[in-house]
Homo-oligomer: A and B are copies of this chain.
């Protein structure tokens, strides 16, 4: 974990980059969009740790410092990347009719975000600070809120419901992705890992006893072959959340409709 001397990032400059990126092509062919595209391709293929300014510049065939006038710095580049992929989340998708079942609309949102995280795994590595004030993120937010509009929720409840749904998705995605990475790096399969850990763990745990945990872990292992099943947890959790939302909407409906 290097110090990396990262600057906070200038919001006004960022707005310009997000909404009115320079289209003018200089002698090297660099533009904010070209750089952002190269950075996304790199992060998709090799992960966030491989995403260094030096590497992106190398991939584009220019010196490291050539990028700075176009992207301001690393944190701005990350925001440009997030906004660019956010614009694609619902691009290749036909949304369910607004007149139909709200459960279908919510499942559509959850699935699109799940697919999004799987297509761009680095999205789960970037800590969301203040919202990215760009066209991609704004359009995504508009699409998602619209699916929750007209159910009888207050504006704030709409935002909170959406946050809860997306939180469930990104949490499961984060765990799934980091499990996947560890599997790749460790060169141990899950079975091998358990074989390596199991016996010493059994001996080490000899004194202590965790009756419920032991029972649940055994059931999980039988059913999934794993000690943890983030995607299953996400689908189950989403179902419960929608059941709760149904109760809330239903109760209001009796009063207000």
Q: Which residues of A come within 8 Å of B, CB atoms?
A: 1-4, 8-9, 11-12, 15-16, 18-20, 48-49, 51-52, 125, 127-131, 133, 135, 138-139, 141-142, 145-146, 149, 154-161, 163-164, 167-168, 170-172, 174-175, 178-179, 181-182, 185-188, 190, 193, 196-197, 200-201, 204-205, 208, 210-213, 215-216, 218-220, 223-224, 227-230, 232-234, 236-237, 239-245, 247-248
Complex: chain B residue closest to A51, CB-CB: B1
Chain B, Cβ-Cβ closest to A47: B1
Given contacts A11-B193, A145-B216, A205-B19, contact A233 B200 (CB under 8 A): no
Shortest beta-carbon distance from A82 to chain B in Å: 13
User: Which listed residue (B200, B212, B227, B234) contacts A130, Cβ 8 A?
Assistant: B227
Find out whether the CB atom of B18 lies under 8 angstroms from the CB atom of A204.
yes
Jot down 30 A-B pairs with beta carbons below 8 A, ordered by A: A1-B48, A1-B51, A9-B186, A15-B201, A15-B204, A16-B200, A19-B204, A20-B204, A127-B181, A129-B178, A129-B181, A130-B190, A131-B227, A138-B213, A154-B219, A156-B216, A156-B219, A159-B216, A159-B220, A160-B233, A160-B236, A163-B237, A164-B233, A164-B237, A167-B167, A167-B234, A240-B240, A240-B244, A240-B248, A243-B248
Task: Name the distance in Å between A173's Cβ and chain B's nearest Cβ.
Answer: 10
Quick one: given A51-B1, A243-B244, are A12 and B200 in contact (CB under 8 Å)?
yes
Contact status B247-A241, CB under 8 Å = no
In the complex, the answer to whether A247 meets B236 with C-beta atoms within 8 Å is no
